[in-house]
Structure 1
């Protein structure tokens, strides 16, 4: 048939028009090989539209199929439709070779329905046509349809799948997470002997990886007599995507040792593994490797490098890669902003976001979800309003992830009422949206409201997850809702089949300990099904300090020190417990242990942000440019609150005289920040500060009275929660 279409009649001698068609066809085939579409399409258009062109010079069937191949490679739907029209005009659209090429073109142009219409009109279908449709469905995410077509090709036309069919349908099985279907295809490949083909075995192991059957995938990989770089990449990626970063990195190093060509895919997987493991030295070796093999200009690899260094807590190295990157994409900006945010470099994240605007890089929802938590960490209501307004102007404020980030931000900026308004306005509420609002209420001490919202969430049919339960348990802990907390913890596993994690256990210990139920908390720890971690014993130690229980404090501290904490906070906590009990030998012993281990007490600081300037205060610091005014205002404040009943609580300070104790308390960082806020803001203005440690009893009592004598509302965010001081009272009800 093809020969007949290629030559209108058997010539007696060479015909120039035939030579022109043959030459045109040859050029098209060459163009297909090098994907040089535009010039060839121009030639096709000229030949198709020219009324003077000799009949023999018009495109023949193979010319059309070559053009369709080019259109498919370029995803050029408009030209593909034009070629389809030409085929239809000549009555060739249903011819098997043309129809298969058309179906392939439409599928690659993301028009699977059009591909199916072409396929259905074919009078006869061969295996190539069936394979084109199977591949088209799989490529367009229609996994179920792709798998159904493999069944139909056998039932309807008796066509037996070949290696192309298997390689086409396996990604569909993977996308559908259809493990049973993967096993069936694997069994078919074994029976037909297709498993010896490296592309088939690679597709099988890749499908198993994506279905979570990583051990089966590894068995296939180890069995393969021949492996190429794609096989190695699939297995390395499989480990990385299934959370086994150590094995992914180990296999990557083995790949290097066996001399297999490293590609961008394997480097991306290795960088992901290094980031997840926090292996900085290994990461630097991968960085050196990618430079050697010429991947430094690959933007995707460099973006992964930024992410990896950020996960290894080296934002300086991530920023260096980012700044040296010549062709930054939006993903590059997003990766760097997120890296700053996740490493507590909130000011840097906001500055980079501003620079992004100056360079006219349009943000997306991921950009905002990356920078909004940085604004939340800074806790400046003015910046919060600005970023909220910006998200509205960009029409991204109703994106469920952006909206959730905004709700969380307002709650962390002390504006829980605005957070609730946004929550109420949400057109769509994901479980993370409910979690953010529940956590927001809990952190502000509104435990009962948090519990009510949790019950409302269950009433909507939305299933809570582990984070939901952690949020509501935290709310119960801050609100003293012991019975409710016990019930929620039991419900987590009994009603929802969710296994409590270490944070859930720690929160339950905190809940019981705060309420003074120390024996129950200790029994709870002893009966845990898993080995308690530092957070669990840390919660117990904090409760022991609150309720002055030295015996259980020593038991908790002993277990904490066995687990080897990197911070000195637990040593300081135990020393304070000993000091409150006048056990000075115990205090000396703890301090000596800290010196030997090189541990230091975390210095307390408080910050206040005014007019886009962040002012940081440390206890007793005098380096602020307005220090004289601050201390004068603070001295006046102390006199004012003494007049309404303030007495210094000196229990937390030892080894000095009482008058010195009082003086040290008076210069705590939060008092300095409050005094500065009173100097710099107008009467009636709310003062908001942030503290890196738990507020002490003395500062808590003093701040209540400061709010009374000044008529100011003072919002204090400490490491655990928010305190709203107003009219001489705190929102926590003195339960914190």
Structure 2
């Protein structure tokens, strides 16, 4: 009896040391157990292994396990748990394989360890083996397995787990429900996630955080924020993770629906305001020094482009991590501020941090964004073992800067280094091949893709369709399109754009109709492309039909679709309808303004074009070189010389836009049409484009209108020398002579054309055909 009491006292004392993680006292007690020959008691041995495991002394746990004379399943689970806690996956797996018998705890320990170490696929394989051997999962099992399903987006296994959960009666367990909700949310099946959420009697902070993350992933920003408000109303504990989830939603943006922030500019404003409110709440709750939350706050400000606020948060951080620096670098990169990004990169090293792969990728993206590919290359060369993402960043940088030869050379070097390209790599390279009309290179990439069985990947196939289309091989593009087993909307859009690019507008329009006949819904890009077809076909009737469909599908407020509509109505001659739609657009970018101004110019309504230009300036939109071409063209066509000259002179001084060839030709045309030839000759002495034939053609054309023979002869002589094969100067000069009745000079010009074998270019006109029901492609 005394021995049993003594044993119980030792066991109770040992439990106290385990609870308090008292390693030193535990070792003293271990010595006492040894002296009193109590190690023959398996229960005490198991508790000692647990003590060492809790105190992170895995070597002592191993020794105790090895000296345990009578190991039972609890001994094996204790040492397995010890290795799992220490993160020793190889040792844990070896212990698991050696176990004479296993129970659910054994399986749970191994699955949990694999998930924590990022081996989700292997963890799911172990789970499947566990079930096949007849073990019944517990709520602990499902917590790990569902986490793995969400990470690898394995919706099918998640659904099977859901069925088993209901079968064994765990569908009310909060941990399991949270796991299921997370799987459905991460896989984008929000309807099922909402159903699970509504069935939970007492949702906790994890439940709400998972729902907010899922809603944010599908741009349900308003709904995610409503979820946060509900969390607050229900009195659920708000932690740094839930606050970070809200900030992630604010960083992502999206449509706000009932919040009223549907436009891009309003959306940005809402993102920042809501993020600032969360910032204030975090300070109130005392989370401002939480590093996880602070990094989320940094990310929200950086992704919304509010770098001043991001800098304040960063400088107030009590503790800075590499993640914090990475966010700042990415933020500066997004704003195109490469200098600040480089400064951050240098400060990381000065502060004793080691830049990681993400740091370098962010730096590469920042340098590429601001066009500094050379610095990006230096960064890349300093990387010891760049991943495929880094290679892609460099190849994309060269491609975006239209240095396609360097991009292709870099792609070859990537292969020499045995780095396997992914779908992003080959799509960018196909774009470079198309950019330099390198059809043979594109074919080689195509052959390599067929060998690797990647050519049926829709993302890659879309790149192939684009490459062949841009190289003028629409038949091959059509064959790739037709042979794809499953077509997504990106492939349809690529094929339609390819046909439009090659002036096969009727075929592109018919292909668009096939999308409407199928189950797929057109996107903004689909509508913008098909509107371009209507514009090129000068088909106002079809353009109006497409407009009706756009309104029905809710894309009328999209800035790109809206701009395409304005362009279509302008170029099809319905300028009033174009202006009506322009005024209704909630958001306009500089391209939208340019299209409307250009529409007025092309339709001879120069006063309205100038007024609209002035409205654009007053609204704060910065004009670009295209803006000035449009408004100067309007002034030229409508004889608005003073306004044209004023706008031309304001380009550099007020707006920082240097005049280019097109701007000089516009203002010369404006002056020449009005008969201000003295000003034309003065301007011709100053411009840096005297050797460009286009300028002299404009001068010659203006001379024809006003019968200015002397300047016309000078312009013609310049053109004879600059562009000897062109018939334009001969025809224009002959027209001037004929209008003045100088028939001998007309005859001399025609004889000169005959002697030099110059042939006049034929004219042509447009006619609109009725709709046809034929198509080259079958979807």
Superposition TM-score tier, normalisation by shorter sequence = 0.5 to 0.7
Query: Is contact 1:17–1:56 with CA below 8 Å preserved after alignment?
Result: yes
Query: What residue is the counterpart of 1:231 in the other structure?
Result: 293
Distance of 1:269 and 1:519 partners within structure 2: 47
Match of 1:316 among 362, 369, 374: 374
Cα 1:350–1:231 change in 2 (3 A) is same
Distance of 1:412 and 1:731 partners within structure 2: 26
Query: Is contact 2:52–2:61 with CA below 8 Å preserved after alignment?
Result: no
Query: What residue is the counterpart of 1:542 in the other structure?
Result: 598
Q: 1:461-504 CA distances to partner (integer Å, 9 max, x unpaired)?
A: 1111111101111111112121111221221121x222432332
Cα 1:129–1:355 change in 2 (3 A) is closer
> Any idea what SS the aligned residue of 1:184 has?
coil
In the TM superposition, 1:153-192 aligns within 5 A as 172=183, 175=186, 178=193, 181=197, 184-186=203-205
Query: Is contact 1:245–1:277 with CA below 8 Å preserved after alignment?
Result: yes
> Any idea what SS the aligned residue of 2:318 has?
coil
The answer to whether structure 1 residue 244 and structure 2 residue 301 are counterparts is no
The answer to whether structure 1 residue 112 and structure 2 residue 173 are counterparts is no
Distance of 2:703 and 2:485 partners within structure 1: 52
The answer to whether structure 1 residue 657 and structure 2 residue 711 are counterparts is yes
The answer to whether structure 1 residue 291 and structure 2 residue 342 are counterparts is no
Cα 1:224–1:345 change in 2 (3 A) is farther
Q: 1:687-718 CA distances to partner (integer Å, 9 max, x unpaired)?
A: xxxxxxxxxxxxxxxxxx9xxx999xxxxxxx
Q: TM-score, normalised by structure 2?
A: 0.64
> What runs of 5+ residues in structure 1 fail to find an aligned partner?
48-52, 605-617, 623-630, 632-646, 673-704, 712-726
Query: What residue is the counterpart of 1:435 in the other structure?
Result: 493
In the TM superposition, 1:8-47 aligns within 5 A as 14=37, 33=56
Query: What residue is the counterpart of 2:19 in the other structure?
Result: none
Cα 1:326–1:513 change in 2 (3 A) is same
Query: Is contact 1:134–1:150 with CA below 8 Å preserved after alignment?
Result: no
Note the C-alpha offset of 1:334.
0.6
Distance of 1:22 and 1:554 partners within structure 2: 91
The answer to whether structure 1 residue 407 and structure 2 residue 465 are counterparts is yes
Note the C-alpha offset of 1:456.
0.8
Distance of 2:171 and 2:486 partners within structure 1: 47
Cα 1:436–1:580 change in 2 (3 A) is same
The answer to whether structure 1 residue 570 and structure 2 residue 627 are counterparts is yes
Distance of 1:326 and 1:468 partners within structure 2: 43
Distance of 1:124 and 1:391 partners within structure 2: 43
Match of 1:56 among 58, 61, 69: 69
Q: 1:36-59 CA distances to partner (integer Å, 9 max, x unpaired)?
A: 9xx999x99xx9xxxxx9982868
Match of 1:98 among 106, 116, 119: 106
Distance of 2:597 and 2:171 partners within structure 1: 73
Query: What residue is the counterpart of 2:237 in the other structure?
Result: 195
Query: What residue is the counterpart of 1:639 in the other structure?
Result: none
Query: Is contact 1:106–1:114 with CA below 8 Å preserved after alignment?
Result: no
Note the C-alpha offset of 1:423.
1.5
> Any idea what SS the aligned residue of 1:266 has?
helix
In the TM superposition, 1:577-588 aligns within 5 A as 577-579=634-636, 584-588=641-645
What CA RMSD, in Å, does the superposition of the two structures yield over aligned residues?
Answer: 5.4
Distance of 1:621 and 1:80 partners within structure 2: 78
The answer to whether structure 1 residue 492 and structure 2 residue 550 are counterparts is yes
Distance of 1:621 and 1:430 partners within structure 2: 50
Match of 1:260 among 314, 318, 321: 318
Note the C-alpha offset of 1:311.
2.4
> Any idea what SS the aligned residue of 2:204 has?
helix
> Any idea what SS the aligned residue of 2:69 has?
helix
Of Structure 1 and Structure 2, the greater helix share is in 2
Distance of 1:66 and 1:530 partners within structure 2: 65
Distance of 2:361 and 2:336 partners within structure 1: 17
The answer to whether structure 1 residue 507 and structure 2 residue 549 are counterparts is no
In the TM superposition, 1:415-494 aligns within 5 A as 415-494=473-552
Note the C-alpha offset of 1:585.
4.3
Note the C-alpha offset of 1:430.
1.8
In the TM superposition, 1:349-368 aligns within 5 A as 349-368=407-426
Distance of 2:598 and 2:719 partners within structure 1: 21
Cα 1:107–1:72 change in 2 (3 A) is farther
Query: What residue is the counterpart of 1:337 in the other structure?
Result: 395
Cα 1:733–1:653 change in 2 (3 A) is farther
Distance of 1:382 and 1:29 partners within structure 2: 66
Cα 1:114–1:393 change in 2 (3 A) is closer
Query: Is contact 2:48–2:61 with CA below 8 Å preserved after alignment?
Result: no
Q: Which moved more, 1:503-512 or 1:573-582?
A: 573-582
Distance of 1:733 and 1:205 partners within structure 2: 55
Query: What residue is the counterpart of 1:694 in the other structure?
Result: none
Query: Is contact 2:348–2:354 with CA below 8 Å preserved after alignment?
Result: yes
Note the C-alpha offset of 1:148.
6.0
Query: What residue is the counterpart of 1:372 in the other structure?
Result: 430
Q: 1:254-309 CA distances to partner (integer Å, 9 max, x unpaired)?
A: 43333332223333333333333334454344334433334443112111111123
- Higher Cα Rg: structure 1 or 2? 2
Q: 1:209-256 CA distances to partner (integer Å, 9 max, x unpaired)?
A: 88989749657644533452112223444566xx5342xx45643433
Distance of 1:153 and 1:218 partners within structure 2: 44
Q: 1:149-186 CA distances to partner (integer Å, 9 max, x unpaired)?
A: 9997997599776xxx8997885575255478399323
Q: 1:391-410 CA distances to partner (integer Å, 9 max, x unpaired)?
A: 33443322211110121122
Cα 1:463–1:217 change in 2 (3 A) is farther
Q: Which moved more, 1:171-180 or 1:663-672?
A: 663-672
> What runs of 5+ residues in structure 2 fail to find an aligned partner?
1-7, 12-29, 209-230, 257-270, 663-687, 727-752, 770-779
Q: Which moved more, 1:253-262 or 1:278-287?
A: 278-287
Query: What residue is the counterpart of 2:680 in the other structure?
Result: none
Distance of 1:18 and 1:450 partners within structure 2: 83
Pairs aligned (count)? 620
In the TM superposition, 1:643-722 aligns within 5 A as 650-651=700-701, 657-662=711-716
